[in-house]
Amino acid sequence: MYEIIIPDRMWYLPIVVAALIACTGNTLAQALRKNNQEPRERWKHAIAGLLSGALFGTVLQFSGKIPKVGPTIQIIILAYILLQSTIGIIGVLTGLLNKGFKGAKLGLKITLGLFYLDENSFPRAVLQGFLRHLWEMPQTFVGQTTSHIKNAASNVTKVEYYGGVTFVINEQQRYQDGLSLGNYVNVNLWDSIFEDFDTHIKHDPLLLHEYGHTIDSNIFGWLFLFIIGIPSIHSAMGKGNHQAFWTEKRANRKIKRYAKKYNDIAWNAFEDEYPTA
């Protein structure tokens, strides 16, 4: 089995490179979100990116030493990096060709979503960035790919950030629904968003509900698509009350706790439409 070999004197190289990439990505995403104007906030976002990237780089560098399975793990991680990078670059270029600067900016924000971390909690941000590309690898890959495909098909009008999650939004649609894959949430909305996204999401239960699914992605990792994703899609395609299905109630409970803690949002106003029990 092929094994990635880094000279002993340069063992730190993957760690440093991953840390710098993650730091740059999160800093840029936060800048586009316009949430890091204060120097203290800028440093917080940069350090969160550095730490999460360094942890990822450490796994990449030393996983090869795990007996029998180590080289396979390294190859999977490297293949994931190559694919995600390629999709990210192609996504930006496709957006540019289809819709000019606006399409390219939407594509760039989708790609930067790979590195965007939770601005509300520093410990959660570091853990989020570390687990996203390892524990949540399958859905993160599918999430970015799906988002870029929608942008290439001109089915994206906005890309917004909140709490480490990238919302890929298509406004003014005849129907309203959402799909959560890793830290990517693709939603179709009836109306348009005119106000600041942080303000808007506080009174949009659909967006909050989909965020709840991303928390379950953090928890279940590689098993998310099988435990939550497929049963949820099957329920949505059925004739019953989808919001009464256990995966949806679970998502509502998750976001209820998060939103109350970080944004002082009371879920009671949404309980009839998005029940928690």
User: SS3 letters for the chain?
Assistant: CCCCCCCHHHCCHHHHHHHHHHHHHHHHHHHHHCCCCCHHHHHHHHHHHHHHHHHHHHHHHHHHHCCCCHHHHHHHHHHHHHHHHHHHHHHHHHHHHHHHHHHHHHHHHHHHCCCCCCCCCHHHHHHHHHHHCCCCHHHHHHHHHHHHHHHHCCCCCEEEEECCEEEEEECCCCCCEEEEECCEEEEECCCCCCCCHHHHHCCCHHHHHHHHHHHHHHHHHHHHHHHHHHHHHHHHCCCCCHHHCHHHHHHHHHHHHHHHHHHCCCHHHHCCCCCCC
Domain spans of the chain? 8-153
Residue with tokens 């435990």: 227
CB atoms within 10 A of CB 32: 17
Whether residue 85 is predicted with pLDDT greater than 50 in this model: the reply is yes
What is the side-by-side strand order in the sheet with 177-181? 158-162, 165-170, 184-188, 177-181
With beta carbons less than 8 A apart as the criterion, state whether 1 and 71 touch: yes
Whether residue 52 is predicted with pLDDT greater than 50 in this model: the reply is yes
Whether residue 2 is predicted with pLDDT greater than 60 in this model: the reply is no
Confidence of residue 1 (pLDDT cuts 50, 70, 90): very low
Residue with tokens 């439409």: 273
- The model carries a pTM of 0.93
pLDDT, tens only, 133-190: 999 999 999 999 999 999 999 999 999 999 999 999 999 999 999 999 999 999 999 9
